[in-house]
Amino acid sequence: FTGGNSKNGPEYLFRRLLKTAGLELIPVKQEIPRIHKFLLHTSNGKTREIRTVSLIAPSGAANRAVGSIPAYKAQKSRNPSYTTLDFRAEQYRAFF
């Protein structure tokens, strides 16, 4: 997901859908990128663990959010030419 859990964002709508099915997202990792999981019971009696990843939105508006993240601030202090786009690219690279 991108854009966090803001109202009408993909993660928000997914959480609502899970709730109607009696499921919930369980936090696995709270640092950015946030990772959650839920348990899906299949028709053959098995249970699957599904993980979701919440990434920072690629929009320009998200630059303010990125600028306040301690990991970004630390990297920026080490390398003044480091940008919010660099931070997001590093974050996305691990999952795409």
Number of other residues whose CB lies within 10 A of the CB of residue 8: 8
Q: Is the pTM of this model over 0.85?
A: no
pLDDT of 58: 76
- The string of pLDDT tens digits covering residues 22-79 is 999 899 998 888 899 999 988 998 999 999 998 887 777 777 888 888 989 999 999 9
> What is the three-class DSSP state of 38?
strand
Query: For the chain, which residues make up each domain, given as ranges?
Result: 1-55, 59-96
**Residue entry with tokens 């839920």:** 38
H/E segment holding residue 66: helix 63-67
Which among 96, 7, 13 is positioned nearest to 53, based on CA atoms?
Answer: 96
The Cα-based distances of 23 to 16, 41, 44, 75 in angstroms read: 9, 10, 18, 37
